[in-house]
Copies of this chain bind each other. A is one copy, B any other.
């Protein structure tokens, strides 16, 4: 996996709009904007919101109030979806006579592929009633988020969050987690051997290890050191500690 350095991934995200239809709670609009922005989505469209964005929207948006401020608000679904080569409806249940279903993960990959060709809309329905049949009829694909079989009650912003997260992962292949800059220098084989020998000496002197019956103590300790992938500085600390134990013995 390689990090997309030329912005190809974010270019696809910029062609994706999130369309919230008939949203009841202004706070959910803000929370959805925040969810979008964390994943690099920026285009929010509100169709016939029950209440216009208000101070609760801004509060829930946290630092994503710019998405709310630049949101398109319309009573007209046709203009909301204008120019889209793909409309994907997010739904919690199977529908009759509808477009094909896909799980969020696969649908996100499809969306990103479509967004490399043109504009894409993700359509989210009302908090309580979901997408209406007339809205479902506009979709070329339906996206479902896997949930518990009994309790499926995803909050609207939570659904936006998961879909936006999957879109981001599909758009931008992640590299390795950010290198841990200050991960220390790895201990060498000899470092670890000297530590093992030191431990063996100290454990013998203290009476913990009986050289006549060593069992597999040192084998176990070496296996543990190997699994820990010791750093050089850790070896130094451990040997310093062992020396302090030995001095006290003297």
Contacts and interface: CB of A to CB of B under 8 A. Distances in A.
Interface of A: 1, 31, 34-35, 37-40, 62-64, 94, 96-98, 100-103, 105, 144-148, 151-155, 157-158, 161-162, 165, 168-169, 172, 174, 177-178, 180-182, 199, 202-203, 205-208, 217, 220-221, 224-225, 227-231, 233-234, 237, 240-241, 244-245, 247-249
A134 B206 CA distance: 33
Nearest to A37: B151
Contact of A244 (B154, B161, B207, B225): B207
Contacts of A174: 103, 146
Nearest to A94: B178
B248 A206 contact: yes
A39 B147 contact: yes
A244 B203 CA distance: 8
A200 to B, nearest CB: 11
21 contacts: A1-B146, A31-B158, A34-B153, A34-B155, A35-B155, A38-B147, A38-B151, A38-B154, A39-B148, A62-B155, A63-B153, A64-B151, A64-B153, A94-B180, A103-B177, A146-B168, A147-B168, A154-B161, A206-B241, A207-B247, A249-B249
